[in-house]
Amino acid sequence: MEAVGRLAGGVAHDFNNMLMVIAGYGELLRERMESDEPSRRMLGEILKASNRAASLTDQLLAFSRKQILTPHVLDLNSVLAELGAMLPRMIGEDIELSIVPGIGLGRVRADPSQIQEVIMNLVVNARDAMPAGGRLTIETANAELDDNYAHAHGVNLARGSYVMLAVSDTGIGMDQETQTHIFEPFFTTKDVDKGTGLGLSIVYGVIKQSEGYIWVHSEPGQGTSFKIYLPRIHQQVSNVAATNVAQRNLFGSETILLVEDDQSIREAIRDFLRTRGYNVLEASNPSIALDAAQRRDGPIHLLLTDMIMPGMNGVSLAQQLKTTRPQMSVLYISGYTDRGFGDRVTIDSEMNFLQKPFPFSVLGCKLRDILDR
């Protein structure tokens, strides 16, 4: 399983790099086309396909636990409230949905988008287990995991305070043999054209990467219940601001030092930045970047750097450059950071970060958000 995970993560990383180039130049080309040009529709289909491919690589990274998480302090009740309007449309009218928010619920630290994906994957699985309709219950509660709980489940776990998220259905259920395989990648009891078998392995990867636990209880004909436990913390909920990709002035005249070891990605980002009016200094590795910064007499307003590069990572490069340019802003980009940062990869919520592949429109917004502060 570990070998499969490493393979999936490596493939996803390399594929993300290619998608950056495909989607990036696609965006630039679309800007140059007239709205009624026939080729614009075909280009739109290419960009849609690249978005679907990016979604698939996200699934592979989640399974391999090589995603880059941007954790925030969350209230799971609020997360469920945000999904409340979407979930009924996902499950259909023949399934009764009941959401039971816990009173006085504690906070957890997790990536909000990944927690939403976990919930949606479990909801879709529950829906498919109730082809003739039924009842789906999602509930939250505070919980204490102690020695008795660990003994009952036959596992080692960190004793303490947790927040539980449970997703239960009245569907067909599973036998013990099936339950031993459900978190394996590509394992599915559905027809070939009905599922990839990645849903529950993604759920497992996200929860483990968030330092949580997940257990399942099910019996044939008696339904299924998934229970997730995330460590409870005592902090205020983070203000998670969505990236604004609406129409706005994304042009600038500042100097940006672009450091990216993948030539195709570097050239695509450089071309985008120059179309927006920025002065771009480019470097293929940290050593060249340090030399370029030393030779530069004028200001460097922002360092745009990949996280993982030969010889030095982006964080170390930024730290070196900031010793002589303390006012310089930094924006990190990466596909995944397994090499050099360990299996549990997190990006501090205070860091400016974009995960590849990202639309250039998002990059443009992010740059202005940083430079206009």
**Average pLDDT of the chain to the nearest whole number:** 82
Residues in the chain, overall count: 373
pLDDT above 70 coverage of the chain, percent: 80
Query: Which class is domain 76-231?
Result: alpha beta
Looking at 52-56, 185-189, 207-211, 315-319, which range is the least confident one? 185-189
Torsion of CA 364, 366, 367, 372, to 10 degrees: 120
Q: In angstroms, how far is the first alpha carbon of the chain from the final one?
A: 45
Question: What is the average pLDDT across 102-118?
Answer: 88
Confidence of residue 70 (pLDDT cuts 50, 70, 90): low
Buried b vs exposed e over 40-55: b needs ≥16 C-beta within 10 Å? eeeeeeebeebeebbe
**0.75 exceeded by the pTM?**
no
Residue with the two structure tokens 């993604």: 202
Q: Which CATH number fits domain 255-371: 3.20.20.70, 3.40.50.2300, 3.40.50.300, 3.90.1300.10?
A: 3.40.50.2300
* DSSP E strands, the chain: 72-74, 95-100, 108-110, 134-145, 160-169, 213-218, 224-231, 255-259, 279-283, 302-306, 329-334, 353-355
3-state secondary structure of 18: helix
Q: Is residue 314 pLDDT above 60, yes or no?
A: yes
pLDDT digits (tens, 9 = 90+) for 232-257: 998 877 655 444 444 456 789 999 99
Q: Is residue 262 pLDDT above 60, yes or no?
A: yes
